[in-house]
Amino acid sequence: MLSLHTGPSYEGITHFIGATTKSVPAHYGDFGFPFEQIKKAIDKKSKVLLINTPSNPTGAIYNLDSLKFIRDISRDHNLHIITDEIYKKIVYSGKFHQYLSVSQSLEKTLVIDGLSKSHAMTGWRIGYSIGNKELISAMNKIQQNVSTCVNTPTQYAAIKALESEEPTKKMVAEYKERRDKALELIDQCEYLSCNKPEGAFYLFTKYDGPIDSEELAVRILQEKGVCITAGAVFG
């Protein structure tokens, strides 16, 4: 599986089923889509390309040209595309485009989404997938033997949450204020710089100091009581 700057859980899940991953990093400056790097990374063993837009942790949103490129390499190299759109409602600038609007087919596409981020329901563990009948049927066999189903109260809560977009819009506006304030403070710090994320709610901050990101994360936790994630875990 090929992946682009995504959360570490994907790698763990991939290894759990006996597959391997290959990370394709984006350019740090603007986290632009790595067209050439993806072409070079594809080989005969490549089966799946995983994308996450808006991205965790970069906040990048893939434009239509990027999604069309993904559609074309899926066709040319017989790649299945997994598109994680869990942050699609959290957008500050630019425009989010669904991959299905470009691919126009579920033959080799799986969409994964949920209410964890858009409605602050992370602990409720409710999500959904969109894919072809054969794939969803196979996924259902695993789901039934792992957690059976989402509990009934959570399903009713999700229905209620979907009745209005206003709470989500208010939340996103608050996130944007926090993003802007955090970026302002980062600009005042020696060794730190950060690209302005277009979406999601993360800051993938660049550190040019004398220690690595893992040691930095430990020291900030121990000395300042603030928990951050070392950038190294994102590939």
Residue-wise pLDDT for 68-96, tens only, equals: 999 999 999 999 999 999 999 999 998 99
- 146-193 residue pLDDT tens: 888 899 999 999 999 999 999 999 999 999 999 999 999 999 999 999
Q: Residue 27 — pLDDT band, cuts 50, 70, 90?
A: low
- Which of 205, 165, 211, 167 has the alpha carbon at shortest distance from 189? 205
Q: Is the N-terminal amide bond of 153 cis, ω within 30° of 0? A: no
Q: Which two tokens stand for residue 232?
A: 């190294």
**Percent of the chain whose pLDDT exceeds 90:** 78
Q: What is the DSSP letter of 141?
A: H
The reply to whether CATH 3.40.640.10 applies to domain 1-235 is yes
Residue 44: which of 20, 75, 77 has the closest Cα?
Answer: 77
pLDDT at res. 81: 96
3-class secondary structure, 17: coil
- pTM equals 0.92
Identify the pLDDT of residue 28. Answer: 63
- Please report the DSSP string for 53-99 in residue order: SS-TTT-----HHHHHHHHHHHHHHT-EEEEE-TTTT-BSSS----T
Q: What is the pLDDT of residue 4?
A: 67
